Amino acid sequence: GAVVSQHPSRVICKSGTSVKIECRSLDFQATTMFWYRQFPKQSLMLMATSNEGSKATYEQGVEKDKFLINHASLTLSTLTVTSAHPEDSSFYICSASQMADTQYFGPGTRLTVL
């Protein structure tokens, strides 16, 4: 139980394009989903918290117009990196929570912006 999927697992795009990443909870309804960014050999950096049907709450320093988050249902959240640039290249990981405080992570998406 508590399986979270992410799609795509890898994406390469040209600078200036937008990329959408999907996060799905497959066998449970997630009251909250989280989006993280991870740089090599570093810990997880929380970008935003989203609840179904409401606007995402972004962490300080994360541009909400750059990283658009939509939480359309209790099983799906999407992160869109708009007008991507090489500095946006990173490993993006989502997590989903059903029970308070316990997060289950997706497998991650490797974004490379050329």
Q: How far apart are the first and last CA of the chain?
A: 37
Q: CB-wise, 49 or 82, nearer to other proteins?
A: 49
Q: CB-wise, 16 or 49, nearer to other proteins?
A: 49
Q: How far is the CB of 88 from other proteins (least distance, A)?
A: 18
Q: How far is the CB of 12 from other proteins (least distance, A)?
A: 15
Could you tell me how many residues make up the chain?
Answer: 114
Q: CB-wise, 73 or 102, nearer to other proteins?
A: 102
Q: How far is the CB of 86 from other proteins (least distance, A)?
A: 20
3-state secondary structure of 12: strand
- Under the rule (CB under 8 A), what is the footprint of other proteins? 2, 4, 6, 31-32, 34, 42-44, 46, 49, 57, 91, 93, 95, 97, 100-108, 110
Contact between 58 and 43 under an 8 Å Cβ cutoff? The reply is no
Contact between 80 and 67 under an 8 Å Cβ cutoff? The reply is yes
Cα torsion at 109, 106, 8, 27 (round to 10°)? -170
Q: CB-wise, 83 or 110, nearer to other proteins?
A: 110
